[in-house]
Structure 1
């Protein structure tokens, strides 16, 4: 692991690192915010998954998370959104290829060689964190935005009991039913739509419910609300499955980090309660 950047923030430490990923077959970059409490003991870990076109920098630079994470003693890890590099398959579109890994394991060539973001986040990167930071890996939670909100919901539902809590900003909740997901899934996973359901939160919650309340914040003025996000579908699926859900529609807010930073403290407090409860 190579440290790329390092800053002091709210008494803690924000650092950026590169490492060679065996899972993805490329160099990956991630960021970690360590609260000041790590000087005394390991602290719980909160994973943040970013959206389309993003990387570690979006939430660390614009999310406003450091103050509350430092206060509550929560380490936050921000992985990249896809494998990267000249040898990694890509596409010119913003919503597919590098920057748009959708937190799944691709089965179709040429994507299958590198696109295994779920394995990377669930297995390889936690091992790196465990070996290099004062992280209590017995206590983990997860949240994300848009495509990353999809990733947080799906990884939590596919791995019940692994995360103590899960939340999302503006998540893609039904990728099998919206253009972003249909485009990505048909190319990463092929034409078998039954296989798509294994990466769709609305489908997964029918089979698996979590023993924690899922928190979602959604801006009512989000430009992607009606075509791509459709939170009502997840609300209905959770209601029918008996999954506790707190979904909050926020008037006047859009899809941006102005929205995310406004309610970031709420989400960190939600997770800290579960991590320290």
Structure 2
């Protein structure tokens, strides 16, 4: 791993590394925050999955999460949102291709060659973090928008792998909204039944673990009624009797101002679960 950035932050270190990913078949960046406690013992890890158009930089520069990670003794890991570089397929628009991996494993050409974000974030990256850093093996996952979708799907598809999960303004039903329909058609093909394996509202129906879902959603979010539709997750969880805490936040939009306002509560939620 090549360290690109090394910055003192709340008594710890905010680093960015670059390495060759087998899943993505190319070099990728990942941000790792090591709180001060990492100097003396192994710590649990919170994985953060960012949204459309983001890289590893958005969360580490805008959320203010390092303060709370230092307080609770959590390592923060923030990967990029898609493969990048020469030979990686791309498309016009912000919602498909580079910056828009949707945390699925693509099956369709040309995407399947590099777009294996699910394998990367749930398998390859944790194995690397636990081998190279003072990580205890206790994991939590969170994310925003497309990354909120990714966090929910990662937790629901992997019982026992994460101690806790949360999301900010997640795409809860990608099979039923324009962002998801566009991405899934390209990455996964035309079989809508196959899409359901990547849809949180579908996954709660057969979830083998009742891991509680914590979701914050701004009521002034410009994508609320067209792309996010949190009521669909509420309905699915009620029908499946899956624990959900959905908090609607008046006045908040889709931006990192929203995330920064409540990230401390989310990190405290994960810290409590990771201590058990």
Q: Shorter-chain-normalised TM-score: which range? A: over 0.9
Q: Unaligned stretches of 5+ in structure 2?
A: none
Structure 2 distance, partners of 1:153, 1:275, is: 17
Report what 1:134 is aligned to: 134
1:262 paired to 2:261: yes
Report what 2:38 is aligned to: 38
Report what 2:76 is aligned to: 76
Structure 1 distance, partners of 2:130, 2:274, is: 17
Structure 1 distance, partners of 2:221, 2:169, is: 8
Structure 2 distance, partners of 1:180, 1:58, is: 20
Structure 2 distance, partners of 1:267, 1:100, is: 24
> Is the CA contact 1:164–1:275 (under 8 Å) kept in the aligned structure 2?
yes
Structure 1 distance, partners of 2:208, 2:97, is: 31
* Per-residue deviation, 1:177: 0.2
1:94-109 → structure 2 map (5 Å cutoff) = 94-109=94-109
Report what 1:51 is aligned to: 51
Report what 1:243 is aligned to: 242
Q: CA RMSD in A?
A: 0.7
> Is the CA contact 1:179–1:228 (under 8 Å) kept in the aligned structure 2?
yes
Q: Deviations over 1:140-175 (max 9, x none)?
A: 000000000000000100001110000000000000
Report what 2:212 is aligned to: 213
Structure 2 distance, partners of 1:67, 1:5, is: 18
Structure 2 distance, partners of 1:118, 1:93, is: 22
Aligned residues: 276
* Per-residue deviation, 1:210: 3.2
1:177-188 → structure 2 map (5 Å cutoff) = 177-188=176-187
Structure 2 distance, partners of 1:72, 1:214, is: 20
Matched position secondary structure for 2:205:
helix
Q: Deviations over 1:116-137 (max 9, x none)?
A: 0010111111122122211111
Structure 2 distance, partners of 1:105, 1:213, is: 25
Q: Deviations over 1:103-122 (max 9, x none)?
A: 00001000011010010111
* Per-residue deviation, 1:211: 3.1
